Structure 1
Amino acid sequence: MANFVEIRPREQKQALLELDGISRTTIEAHYRLYQGYVSKRNEILSKLEEVDLEAANQVYSDLRALKVDLTFAIGGIKNHEIYFEHLGGEGGNPSGAIAGLIERDLGSSDTWRADLKASGMAARGWAWTAYDWDEGRLFNYVGDAQNTFPVWNATPLVALDVYEHAYFLDYQTDRAAYIEAFFRNLDWSVVNGWIDAYRIPTA
């Protein structure tokens, strides 16, 4: 395989240690998990450079195991980078471009919030608000793991981590209370920056 480039975890923002309702202890432990995904991504890609392609098999093979686990590691990286990057704000109702998209595609901020919260309660790992480039609209999706269920050609703009590690130290099994804390800490300027960077149509 072609040589790969090792990546490093992103720096932890100071604002993440000062969230409303999500403790510093939780964030620091959570961030270490993200760092682990980066480390495993690098390790798996290194091993893939030497894997025996002739031994590939759908029941079990080193190639299959490494490539499946690579999707889990990369999913863990991408999901957490969105999650950490858009926390640290003042929450409240969506504002700017994302507010317009939500109103256009989901009816209102209250409808969006209720649906994303319910999606987070139903999911086993993640809930996302993503822009589907084929349908030209926002939708709230659920995922049961870092690598399920990706929707091709959709760009996540809000990533809600509902794995227990995201909230158990602060809320034990009260996931609903954690989700409310998540909403209180969203930074809409970050989300709107992504909309601009990706040139998502807002008209």
Structure 2
Amino acid sequence: MPPFEEISARPLDPRLLQLSGISRASVEAHHRLYQGYVAKRNEILALLDGVDLQKANQVFSDVRALKLDLTFAIGGIKNHEIYFAHLGGGGGDPDGAFRVLVERDFGSVDAWRSDLRATAMAARGWAWTAYDRDEGRLFNYLGDAQNTFPVWNATPLVALDVYEHAYFLDYQTDRASYVDAFFENLDWDAVNGWIASYSIPS
């Protein structure tokens, strides 16, 4: 097995320090958490490089423990990179290709937003709007941890972090107000750019 390459956390976009309704302190703390996922990914892969594969066992083994925690670390990296990359915009209603998809698959922007808000309120960790390539449409999915409820062959386009770390400094237990603030800061150019780069038909 070739040696793994360490990765570095993406830098914090300065636009995220001036969000509406989400404080600089909250964003900086949140970004440090993401940096921790990157560090743990590197650490776990280094440990896996020397693990005894012959002792792999589903009840307990170093391989199982490290592989399980690797999915949590990498999930945390990917989820947060989407989250941070599509914040810093003017929010409001989506436009462009994403709006076309939303109106086609949910009937209206309001119906999509209401469904994603409810998904976020019901989730323990994440809510995503993703394009399901098998069904050829958008769905709103929830996840209760960084590494739970993946939907294969689906491309996330909106990633809403509803772990308490995302909003507790600003809203304590008022998750609903944080979700409203999230919508106010979305960058639709980023979302539409992903639709184009991933060749998602609209």
Matched to 1:104, the amino acid is R
Q: CA deviation at 1:2?
A: 2.4
Matched to 1:122, the amino acid is A
SS at match of 2:8: coil
Counterpart residue number, 1:72: 72
Separation of aligned partners in 2, 1:147 and 1:107: 30
Q: Gaps spanning 5+ residues in structure 1: where?
A: none
Counterpart residue number, 2:160: 160
The question of 1:87 aligning with 2:81 is answered: no
Counterpart residue number, 1:100: 100
Separation of aligned partners in 2, 1:82 and 1:184: 16
SS at match of 1:8: coil
Separation of aligned partners in 2, 1:157 and 1:63: 32
Separation of aligned partners in 1, 2:64 and 2:33: 24
Separation of aligned partners in 2, 1:178 and 1:82: 18
Q: Deviations over 1:122-148 (max 9, x none)?
A: 000000000001100000000000001
The question of 1:187 aligning with 2:187 is answered: yes
Q: Deviations over 1:24-65 (max 9, x none)?
A: 000000000000000000000110010011111101100000
TM-score by length of 1: 0.99
Matched to 1:6, the amino acid is E
TM-score by length of 2: 0.99
Separation of aligned partners in 2, 1:35 and 1:102: 32
Identity value in percent: 74
Superposed, 1:191-202 pairs within 5 Å as 191-202=191-202
Q: Deviations over 1:103-139 (max 9, x none)?
A: 0111110000000000000000000000001100000
Separation of aligned partners in 1, 2:148 and 2:176: 22
Runs of 4+ in 1 over 4 A off after TM superposition: none
Counterpart residue number, 1:133: 133
Matched to 1:179, the amino acid is V
SS at match of 2:141: strand
Counterpart residue number, 2:109: 109
Matched to 2:143, the amino acid is G
Q: Gaps spanning 5+ residues in structure 2: where?
A: none
